[in-house]
Chains A and B, each alone.
Chain A
Amino acid sequence: MLTGIWVYLAASPLLWLTVTLAVYLAGHWLFRRSGGRAFFNPVALAITLLVLILLLTGTPYSTYFKGAQFIHFLLGPATVALAIPLYLHWERVRQLFLPIVVGLLTGSITAILSAIGLAWLLGGSPRTLLSLVPKSVTTPVAMGIAEKIGGLPSLTAVIVILTGVAGAVAAPSLLNRLHIQDDAVKGMAIGVAAHGIGTARALQISSLAGAFAGLAIGLNALLTTLLAPLMVRLLHLTP
Chain B
Amino acid sequence: MTGALTILLLFQLIGEVTVQLSGLPVPGPVVGMVLLFLSLRWRKALPDTLRATAETLLSHLSLLFIPAGAGVIQYGTLLADEWLALIAAMVLGTLITVAVTALVMQGVILIQHRMRQDG
Known interface pairs A23-B66, A103-B101. Does A83 touch B59 (Cβ–Cβ under 8 Å)?
no
What size tier do the contact residues of chain A reach? Answer: 35 or more
Question: For chain A residues 146-199, which have a beta carbon within 8 Å of chain B?
Answer: 148, 154-155, 157-164, 166-167, 170-171, 174-175, 178, 180, 182, 185-186, 188-190, 192-194, 196-197, 199
How far is B85's CA from A104's CA once the two chains are assembled, in angstroms?
Answer: 25
How far is B72's CA from A84's CA once the two chains are assembled, in angstroms?
Answer: 32
B103 (CB) vs chain A CBs: closest residue: A178
Number of interface residues of B (CB under 8 A): 70
How far is B69's CA from A163's CA once the two chains are assembled, in angstroms?
Answer: 11
Contact indicator B58/A214 (Cβ below 8 Å): yes
Majority secondary structure, B binding face = helix
Choose from A85, A87, A111 the contact partner of B93 (Cβ within 8 Å). Answer: A111
Q: Which A residues touch B104, using CB under 8 A?
A: 102-103, 106-107
How far is B106's CA from A180's CA once the two chains are assembled, in angstroms?
Answer: 8
A binding-site residues for B, Cβ under 8 Å: 20-21, 23-24, 42-43, 46-47, 50-51, 54-55, 61, 64-65, 68-69, 71-72, 74-88, 90, 96, 98-100, 102-104, 106-107, 110-111, 114-125, 128, 132, 135-136, 139-141, 144-145, 148, 154-155, 157-164, 166-167, 170-171, 174-175, 178, 180, 182, 185-186, 188-190, 192-194, 196-197, 199-200, 203, 214, 218, 221-222, 225-226, 229
How far is B41's CA from A24's CA once the two chains are assembled, in angstroms?
Answer: 35
Contact indicator A42/B101 (Cβ below 8 Å): no
Majority secondary structure, A binding face = helix
> What is the CB-to-nearest-CB distance from A147 to chain B, in angstroms, rounded to a whole number?
10
A-B contact pairs, 26 of them (CB 8 A): A46-B69, A47-B70, A50-B70, A72-B68, A77-B8, A80-B29, A81-B33, A81-B53, A82-B58, A84-B36, A84-B55, A107-B97, A119-B85, A123-B85, A135-B94, A159-B86, A159-B89, A167-B95, A170-B98, A174-B99, A180-B106, A188-B101, A189-B98, A199-B58, A200-B62, A225-B27
Known interface pairs A71-B67, A141-B27, A166-B94. Does A96 touch B109 (Cβ–Cβ under 8 Å)?
yes
Q: Which B residues touch A100, using CB under 8 A?
A: 105
How far is B46's CA from A109's CA once the two chains are assembled, in angstroms?
Answer: 34
Contact indicator A196/B100 (Cβ below 8 Å): no
Q: Report if B71 contacts A (CB, 8 A).
A: yes
Listed from nearest, the 9 A-B pairs whose CB atoms lie closest are: A103-B105, A107-B101, A124-B85, A68-B67, A79-B29, A189-B102, A81-B54, A193-B97, A83-B36
B binding-site residues for A, Cβ under 8 Å: 5, 8-9, 11-12, 15, 25-30, 32-34, 36-37, 40-41, 46, 50-51, 53-55, 57-59, 61-75, 78, 82, 84-86, 88-106, 108-109, 112
Q: Which B residues touch A123, using CB under 8 A?
A: 82, 84-85
Contact indicator B57/A118 (Cβ below 8 Å): no
Contact indicator B101/A106 (Cβ below 8 Å): yes
Q: Which B residues touch A160, using CB under 8 A?
A: 68
